Amino acid sequence: MREARIAWHELSAVYERLGETQAALDALRSAIAYDTRLRDKEALDRAARNEMRMELARAASEWSRLAEEDALTGLPNRRALGVWLAAAFLRVRRGEPIAILLLDIDHFKAINDTYGHLVGDVVLREVASLLRDGTRPSDLPSRFGGEEFVVALASTDIARALDIAARIHGEVARHTWTASAPGLAVTVSIGVAGSAEAADPEALLAVADRRLYAAKRAGRNLVIAAD
């Protein structure tokens, strides 16, 4: 199309030199029309390329979100927790404490067996909502897997983490579970660990896991923050 535009311009110049004013004017109009179509096409091409780039960026963002989000609860998943903890331990080495709560829904298999998996899914989503509402923007409530959740607490020592765990423990127990199924009651067991007790994220999770299982062995529906 660029070559056609140049040809019309050159033809207009030839007609003008020959004194063919009308023919020169017609050729010039054709050149201008080509110019307009060319600009329109280039603009459309740019718009299409920009739209494609934006779509690719949106798709990449969505894939990234899905890769770090639990599909059922909408909470960050274990991968996202790992990223959070890795970054947090850089701050830990500069003196900022962090803590985690490892929660397990008590007798979750019995809930599924008694009320069905759909109610079990509701319980998971409701617990996730309670964790989301009960934490700060700087914290990270996440689904660890199955009926287990981790709440990672920024700038929090073990004493403060124990207070938060006790509050969450009470909120879960007081929640109106019978709205989901008659007779339904839900409690959680929680293991609490602080960064002062661990050298890295894996060790911190191991401490919390040990205390969670201590709570379960002691009868469940408990919060344990010490060995």
Residues noted as catalytic: 147
Contacts of 87-94 with CB under 8 Å at 24 or more apart are 88/152, 88/154, 88/195, 88/201, 89/195, 89/200, 89/201, 92/195
Residue 75 phi, psi dihedral angles, 5° rounding: -80, 160
For the chain, how many helices (H) and strands (E)?
7, 5
Q: Are 171 and 177 in contact (CB under 8 A)?
A: no
Q: Which helix (H) or strand (E) holds 153?
A: strand 148-153
Q: Rounded to whole angstroms, how far apart are CA atoms 128 and 54?
A: 32
Q: Are 108 and 147 in contact (CB under 8 A)?
A: yes
